[in-house]
Amino acid sequence: MGLRHLTLGETVVPGFDAAHAAQTERYPGSAGAWQPVHTVYVPADRFGHLTVREWGDEALALLERHLPDEAAVASVFGPMPAAQAADVRRRVARKLVREPIEDLRIDFEDGYGTRTGREEDRHADSAARSIALMDHLGTLPRRWGPRVKSFADGDPARSIRTLDMFLTGVVQRRGRLPDGFTVTFPKVLMEEYLGQFASVLSSLEEGLGLVSGTLRFEMQVEAPQTVMFLTRSANLVPLLGGRLAAAHFGVFDYTAACGLPPAEQRLDHPVCDHAREVMRVALAGTGVELSDGSLAASPASDATADVHRLWRAHAAMVRHSLRHGFYQGWDMHPSHLAARYATVYAFHLATRDAYAERVRAWEERRAAAGGVMDEPATVKTLSAALHRAALALDGTEALSADDR
């Protein structure tokens, strides 16, 4: 034999240990934890401690008025058995009462507009006061935080000041930073901005007495320049010290930057599909969550026909994201909540039982229904889909006995 006898565990390839250590750092994989199905954006000047409940109440009123039964559910959100449609409606109504918003972003950027420094200071303090009160009342969403202004605007001091005031206001009022915090960093036109923002977060942690690594952020992919540097940034996540939590796609800035006419600035345009695929490939295996964008529309009126038209359009965009493996998106109006949850629930319920049967068949070393013989990689994907369905449908790590 050309190789000497090896002891179990002995390394025979020069440089392997270093390469494998780098792989482990660069590609830790997904932790399989809960991920919100949406992020809701509310302009900072319109945000208060009752905002989440007000959105939930408005969405629930729309549901009761315009989606009264399972027949309406099937008509608006696609053909489905009556029992499934009734289940979807029941789940949506329950969700809008218990947890209408899973991830809240208080917007100091595009949705907020240009304000004087004094105005923004006042709104940053008011937002911090509202967050502290929500934490006290137990109404704070599982994820929450601000979207600050971009460094690309040429004024990083304003972005940092707002974030500092907001965080300081929350920590001083509560004596700690409530769980679930993240901050959205928009319009990342230069790769260097990411490292600079990560350094800002480190400094804020030190000043506030927070444990290192507490403050994490999500970047927005809103320009072709961002897509280009993602393709060459293999070490991006390790270089940011684990602070990059997610990448969110910005549909309208991106399509505008690509020169698309207004009628074509939509989530399911091919240029958006390309950008999202680059995001997926560039961040695959890193544990960084991916989120799709939004539909910039609300019902034209309170008439049922207009509400249904909006819901169908929103549902089509959400289904496009789900089919392409993007399980989170943005919601911009209370009317979006019912459509988001109905579409997500219908998507998972339509396949859950079949996926579970295929996993059982694999575990029992037999073919599934229809003679399907799954490969290990497919079974891993099926198991992940079931886990994701359990989290989306019930907010738990596993399906309850009642929901199996």
Give the pLDDT score at 273: 97
Domains of the chain: 32-344 (3.20.20.360)
Give the pLDDT score at 401: 31
Residue 387's Cβ-count burial label (10 Å; 0-12, 13-18, 19+) is middle
User: What counts of helices (H) and strands (E) characterise the chain?
Assistant: 14, 8
Give the pLDDT score at 69: 96
Q: How far apart are CA 213 and CA 220, in angstroms?
A: 20
- SS3 label, residue 7: coil
CB 391 within 8 A of CB 34: yes
Q: How far apart are CA 302 and CA 310, in angstroms?
A: 11
Residue 300's Cβ-count burial label (10 Å; 0-12, 13-18, 19+) is exposed
Give the pLDDT score at 58: 98
CB 285 within 8 A of CB 27: yes
Give the pLDDT score at 404: 32
Give the pLDDT score at 400: 35
Q: What does the DSSP assignment read for 13-31?
A: STTHHHHHHHHHHH-----
Long-range contacts at 21-24 (CB < 8 A, ≥ 24 apart): none
Q: How far apart are CA 129 and CA 107, in angstroms?
A: 15
Give the pLDDT score at 236: 82
CB 216 within 8 A of CB 223: no
Q: Tell me the sheet residues that pair with 218.
A: 184, 246
Please list the pLDDT of the chain residue by residue as tens digits (404 residues): 455 665 666 667 888 889 988 888 888 888 778 999 999 999 999 999 999 999 999 999 999 999 999 999 999 999 999 999 999 999 999 999 999 999 999 999 999 999 999 999 999 999 999 999 999 999 999 999 999 999 999 999 999 999 999 999 999 999 999 999 999 999 999 999 999 999 999 999 999 999 999 999 999 999 999 999 998 876 788 888 889 999 999 999 999 999 999 999 999 999 999 999 999 999 999 999 999 999 999 999 999 999 999 999 999 999 999 999 999 999 999 999 999 999 999 999 999 999 999 998 888 888 777 777 778 889 888 999 999 999 999 764 433 333 33
CA–CA distances in Å: residue 230 to residues 154, 189, 234, 293, 318: 22, 11, 8, 18, 25
